[in-house]
Amino acid sequence: MALDLLDRPAMAVATHTLPAPYLLFLGDTIEPGFAKTAFGLRDWAPERCLGEWSLPSATVSTGLPRLSPAQAAAQGARALVIGVANPGGIIPASWMPELLAAIEAGLDIVAGMHVRLASLAPLAEAAARHGRALIDLRTPPADLAVATGLKRTGRRLLTVGTDCALGKKYTALAIARGLAARGLDATFRASGQTGIMIAGQGIAIDAVIADFAAGAAELLSPAAAPDHLDVIEGQGSLFHPAYAAVSLALLHGSQPDGFIVCHQPGRAAVLGSPAFRVPPIAAVIAQTVMLGRLTNPAIRCVGISLNTAGMTAEDADRVIAETGAEHGLPAADPIRGGAAFDALLDACQA
């Protein structure tokens, strides 16, 4: 469906395939935390990343070859991907000459920012003139249907969280890759912007009109062969006062057979809502089973993924072992891997 993208200068992305390989654009970023998207793409989708480009004032680098838009296009790049976020989610005027140069060089532009690419007149005009696509991953897909709730063929695994932003995407990626490496027919299904850039397709569920959110989740993991496993990137948390509805739509539409609870040991308060406590893992398991039963009565918790970034290896091993024993489930930090992660993969495979 990539051809379809080229025909439409400004469009929503549903399950279309993004044009690749990418030139990662880092803007004028000097704070590595703002370049998480670019680092994620480098780490999880190296085969989709040809190089990087940035303004002279930038100090952050992914270590990929530095290529101008024209050089990247000459080497086969098909899209410039904005791999950085700034606090306002805006595109500064200083980036504009580089984005226009990319369009002129024949690249599409892919972004997941709050501001819409097509709302910036110089970009919209240049894209129309050169027949390039401006792809906003946060633009809600058009023509979605409401969910049917009907069971689809194939198997599904969903990552859920005790909170936002603690490893649901990387857990799903690591499990999908780990199972594929074992020869299983497993696909990572992206439900957020960075995941979509990594996978090259997906739907940003949180950007969908509420009425269609569960329907979009059904579309995200379509009917498949009985042995096929979709590993679906979770969003938000059922205990988050702002995003629980997004999590519920994804749970109902995904109708998962199994789920992995993702948790960051030591995080006490809910991200962005400090008056709310991060719920215990057991509460998340119980609530997910209770709500998930609506569209899959056989739903069960398969294991626990712990984000132990910043811990010593000894502390991480200890908290992983303790958490697994406490809940009677395999627990691991997929980023650390090891025997614990192998056991988690065994459980996902079962």
* Interacting residues toward a copy of itself by CB under 8 A: 140, 146-150, 205-211, 213-215, 239, 241-246, 248-249, 252, 272-273, 275-276, 287, 290-291, 294-295
Separation between Cα atoms, residue 62 and residue 175, nearest integer Å: 24
Cis peptide before 140 (omega within 30 of 0): no
Smallest distance, Å, CB 175 to a copy of itself? 25
Task: Indicate the SS3 state at residue 23.
Answer: strand
Beta bridge partners, 260, equal 159, 303
Kindly tell me which of 144 and 175 has the beta carbon lying closer to a copy of itself.
144
Kindly tell me which of 143 and 314 has the beta carbon lying closer to a copy of itself.
143
Kindly tell me which of 75 and 148 has the beta carbon lying closer to a copy of itself.
148
Smallest distance, Å, CB 279 to a copy of itself? 9
Smallest distance, Å, CB 14 to a copy of itself? 15
Kindly tell me which of 150 and 339 has the beta carbon lying closer to a copy of itself.
150
Separation between Cα atoms, residue 314 and residue 1, nearest integer Å: 48
Residue-by-residue DSSP string for 311-325: S-HHHHHHHHHHHHH
Smallest distance, Å, CB 290 to a copy of itself? 8
Kindly tell me which of 253 and 324 has the beta carbon lying closer to a copy of itself.
253
C-alpha separations of 91 from 28, 88, 287, 349 in Å: 11, 9, 40, 43
Separation between Cα atoms, residue 270 and residue 268, nearest integer Å: 7
Quote the tokens at residue 196: 């979509």
Kindly tell me which of 140 and 258 has the beta carbon lying closer to a copy of itself.
140
Separation between Cα atoms, residue 110 and residue 118, nearest integer Å: 11
Smallest distance, Å, CB 152 to a copy of itself? 12
Smallest distance, Å, CB 276 to a copy of itself? 6
Torsion of CA 200, 19, 39, 24, to 10 degrees: -170
Angle, nearest 10°, between helix axes 36-44 and 168-181? 10
